[in-house]
Amino acid sequence: MVTKNETVVLTGATGYVGQLILSELSQKFKEVRCLTRSPEKLTGLPENCQVLKVDLLQEHQIDEALEGASVAFYLVHSLNDSDDFENLESVSAMNFAQAAARNKLKRLVYLGALARASTDSSPHMRSRHIVGDILRESGVPTFELRASVIIGAGSMPFESIRALVERLPMMIIPRWVRQPLQPIAASDLKIHLLRAAEIRTDTSQVIEIGGSDVISFLDLMKIYAKARGLRRLMINVPVISPSLSSHWLRIFTPAHYQVGRRIVDSSMHDSVVTQEPVLEFAIPALSVSGAVDKALKDERESLDFMENMDDSTSTKMAVKRSTIGTRFVEQRIVSMRSDVATASRALGRTGGQYGWHWATWLWKLRALIDRCVGGVGYREAVRSSTLREGDVLNFWSVRRSESTRLTLEADMRLPGEAILDLRITDLKNGEADEVNIVHTVSFNPKGFLGFVYWYTLFPIHTLVFSKMIKSMVAKIEAEYVPADRF
């Protein structure tokens, strides 16, 4: 099962499942070739990862990508492309299967959908099964892993369920949400996929995988609500059609309409493991409640969502706003003439006795309101001479402290979780010192009140944070002494 001397090809490298296994693949294989139509979305990869721009409708591009490889993951779909996605998926799979056979790959690993095939299958489920058939018929030994709903932050079905539960205090529940399914934790799915890549085999197999519980979408929503401490009124209405439900999903979730519609269509099928356990994949599985708790815990502890940014070489502030799951992320970037050391000193002069760079009185007013509702208020800073993780900065706690980075988490009473991140990056443009200061704010709302809070205070936050970063830039540039002055 040693794979260290092999090259693996990862299609769908920018997708949720591709990102889930990419880091581990780089540790197990000599080289990882990431195939994508959007190479710019893959940054900060391990040294042994190569990004290739490949369109699976172009056979010659696939052949070049597979040359010399041993294993390939097929993790692509065309749900967002058009209503002709079934044909697109079949053609892409055929091109890839034929190229894999020509290049004599040893194994293919495909993630399909767990559902019984029938004449009433939805187009999405039918297409998923057809793609699996095409890959297995290539002659290359293929593991087709069939899974139900994946529970993990970023998984489209999980994010759709999360958005509904978070945003709607009352929900109308159609009949289709009672269909049985067997969700799998993202961490368990990752173990299965990695194991499939390592097993030597001369035959193709379909492996059904799932968690330890068989529940319904309704149960999953209730489990999520309980994990988040949310009370939700759910009214059963048997007459709502899947078509109407998909439009409802489009309004209240971040999912694209086409994807949301096909998720609803697919949910009409039982999605439960019926196959006898396969010895090589006898992996202990998390319960649904355990999987939800782990997804929320991993998301809370991870700060990776702050790494995506656009480099700016302009002194004019660049503002980037996005949503990741239910989390709002707002990033401000300003380029300035300074060295890293001078700019970094400003991070250590944030909060406590130094104030908050602009209108500290507003921060104290916000802390007073927090104290009035039972929060921590404007505490005296409890900090080391150099900021360390766990130090207190007024109504923040330090999550991360590095020479060029400071990450704070709010301890106030909030209908959600707030994080403030300040980072200095060296642009190294020419001989002159030039750095970016990156100011990132994120808020993950809890329930409907969390969304109301974010949008109500949005104008005030925009003013305060914009002025804050401008003040920091002015102070840094005033302190900076260019080397050519000596």
362-380 pLDDT, tens digit each: 999 999 999 999 999 999 8
224-269 pLDDT, tens digit each: 999 999 888 888 776 655 555 555 666 665 544 455 555 665 566 6
CA nearest neighbour of 342 among 486, 480, 484, 485: 480
Residue found by looking up tokens 């403030």 in the block: 420
- Per DSSP, helices labelled H in 335-446 are 340-347, 360-372
Segment among 155-169, 285-299, 410-424 with least mean pLDDT? 155-169
Segment among 46-50, 81-85, 155-159 with least mean pLDDT? 81-85
75-96 pLDDT, tens digit each: 987 655 456 677 888 899 999 9
- φ/ψ of residue 418, rounded to 5: -115, 140
**Confidence at residue 196, expressed as pLDDT on a 0 to 100 scale:** 93
Segment among 180-189, 257-266, 292-301, 314-323 with least mean pLDDT? 257-266
> Given pLDDT bands bounded at 50, 70 and 90, which one contains residue 399?
very high
Comparing 336 with 122, the larger pLDDT belongs to: 336
Give the β-pairing of 405-410 and 416-426. antiparallel
307-331 pLDDT, tens digit each: 765 555 666 778 888 877 788 999 9
Distance between CA atoms of residues 269 and 117, nearest Å: 9
Q: Mean pLDDT in the chain? A: 85
**Confidence at residue 63, expressed as pLDDT on a 0 to 100 scale:** 92
Quote the tokens at residue 466. Answer: 């914009």
Burial of 31 (0-12, 13-18, 19+ CB in 10 A): middle
Q: Which domains does the chain have, with CATH numbers?
A: 7-300 (3.40.50.720), 305-485 (3.30.530.20)
The answer to whether 48 touches 30, Cβ cutoff 8 Å, is yes
417-455 pLDDT, tens digit each: 999 999 998 876 545 688 999 999 999 999 889 999 999
Residue 281: C-alpha distances to residues 200, 206, 297 (Å): 13, 12, 26
| 260 alpha-carbon distance from chain centroid | 17
Helix (H) or strand (E) holding 206: strand 205-209
- Over residues 333-359, mean pLDDT: 90
Distance between CA atoms of residues 236 and 173, nearest Å: 5
